Amino acid sequence: MWCYSGEDCAAKKKSDDQATIEKSRVTDFSIYPNPADQSLTIYSSNLSAVEEYALYNTQGKVVKTGIVKNSITSIPTQDLPAGYYVIKIKQSNDQPYVRSVVISH
């Protein structure tokens, strides 16, 4: 944190600390396994942070959507062709989390 002449350093530190907290909330979950065979799992240590997900194929078409209701949510993938996908997770802080996943059978 850098403070310049005339700045309120205490307010700047509080703002920086809040940004760090918000950033950490973005990664309060994980997606595994990657590559996936029969299912992908979303694990959230902060259930209120994750609301819903969408899985996209390489053409940008939504192939699966769902709502995260538990700290562990399983997404069946056995009905999807093997290949590359993108999962987008909408969070309560409106910062989407996007990750590439591979489905292999």
**32-62 confidence digits (pLDDT tens):** 999 999 999 998 887 666 689 999 999 999 9
Closest of 61, 98, 51 to residue 83, by C-alpha: 61
Q: Taking the domains of the chain in order of start, what are their residue ranges? A: 9-103
What confidence score (pLDDT) does residue 27 get? 53
Q: Give the pLDDT score at 64.
A: 97
What is the tally of helices (H) and strands (E) in the chain?
1, 7
User: Does the pLDDT at position 85 exceed 50?
Assistant: yes
The gap from C-alpha 90 to its chain's centroid, in whole angstroms, comes to 7
Average pLDDT over residues 98-105: 94
pLDDT at 18: 45
Quick one: tokens of 3? 């403070």
For the domain made up of 9-103, the CATH class stated in words is: mainly beta
- Tell me the pTM: 0.71
- Widest pairwise Cα distance in the chain: 61
pLDDT at 3 over 50: no
